Amino acid sequence: MADRSLSGVRVVNTRAVHQAQALTELLEAHGAEVLSYPAITIEPIRNNTALDEALHAAVDGAFEWIVMTSSNTVHALVERLHELGFDPKSLNVAQIAAVGPSTAETIQSELGLDVAVLPEEFVAESLAETIPVKVGERILLPQSAIARSVLADKLEEAGAQVSRIDAYRTVIGRGGVPLPEYFWRGDVDAVLFTSASTVHNFMRRLKRENGSGSMLVDVVVACIGPITAEAAIAHDLPVKVVPEEHTVEGLVTALAGYFAERVR
């Protein structure tokens, strides 16, 4: 049973609507009051010929590896495979690599495929180092249209032939609470970020709604990992929590530990 270290703490969940519930439930299990403020929305790319061609090639065995860096990538592939008339398990002709346990679980549940490689640290840099790439091997790398290039760059440096494909779009979210009003009243204790794109789009959305980063000066900013924290720091946000385990479970546990220490 989770402790109640976050009792009375108002926490902003910035995840996309389709991903927010799991994080909200973890926070509420620790006693937090959760404010929903989706910073991003995931959208398919219309007439995505590049993805269609890559999936046809993958089913035909054109790639030694398929590398997936988020659950959103998995969802995008599953949806498109169905629309193309393919069984998701038809991708089992390639080895699968995943950036972290959440992505791996989604691969197993939605694609029905086993994950061959999972890095110790759940970031692109570690994933690139963990995949046992051989010179000339072909890798399919479907990602967000705004994904960092570091993973593709490092795999190519190792000698792989990387087909980087935009699988979906990440855009500014909508809905949730009128967050600037909560900041003005001093009714926010913490804001959680689970990706760099969430940080960037949170700031864009907040400014569109007459808010600013200065509103977070007395708020605890918690980031799932170092890349997300770097994005927050670049926006001058006061990052106080970065868990050793870069998962939503690790994030909530670290946040609960921070507030438990603060009240001692």
Q: Which residues pair with 139 in a beta bridge?
A: 65, 162
Q: How confident is the model at residue 123 (pLDDT cuts 50, 70, 90)?
A: confident
Domain shared by 19 and 116, yes or no: no
Domain shared by 50 and 144, yes or no: yes
| Number of neighbouring beta carbons within 10 Å of residue 250 | 16
pLDDT of residue 5: 87
- Which of 171, 206, 231 is the C-terminal boundary of a domain? 171
CA distance 27 to 34: 7
Q: Token pair 């980063």 is at which residue?
A: 213
pLDDT of residue 3: 74
Domain shared by 129 and 242, yes or no: no
| Number of neighbouring beta carbons within 10 Å of residue 56 | 12
Domain shared by 75 and 146, yes or no: yes
- Residue 245 confidence (pLDDT) above 60: yes
Domain shared by 51 and 165, yes or no: yes
Domain shared by 49 and 140, yes or no: yes
Write out pLDDT tens, residues 6-49.
999 999 999 999 899 999 999 999 999 999 999 999 999 989 99
Q: How confident is the model at residue 208 (pLDDT cuts 50, 70, 90)?
A: very high
* Entry pTM: 0.85
Domain shared by 49 and 164, yes or no: yes
- Residue 147 confidence (pLDDT) above 90: no
- Amino acid present at 37: Y
Which residue, among 148, 146, 142, 149, has the nearest Cα to 163 in the 3D structure? Answer: 142
* 167 domain-assigned: yes
- Give the structural domain span for 250: 10-39+176-262
pLDDT of residue 1: 46
Q: How confident is the model at residue 122 (pLDDT cuts 50, 70, 90)?
A: confident
CA distance 75 to 81: 10
- Residue 190 confidence (pLDDT) above 60: yes
Q: What does the pLDDT average to over 72-96?
A: 93
- Which of 148, 171, 194 is the C-terminal boundary of a domain? 171
How many domains are there within the chain? 2
* 5 domain-assigned: no
Domain harbouring 214, CATH code:
3.40.50.10090
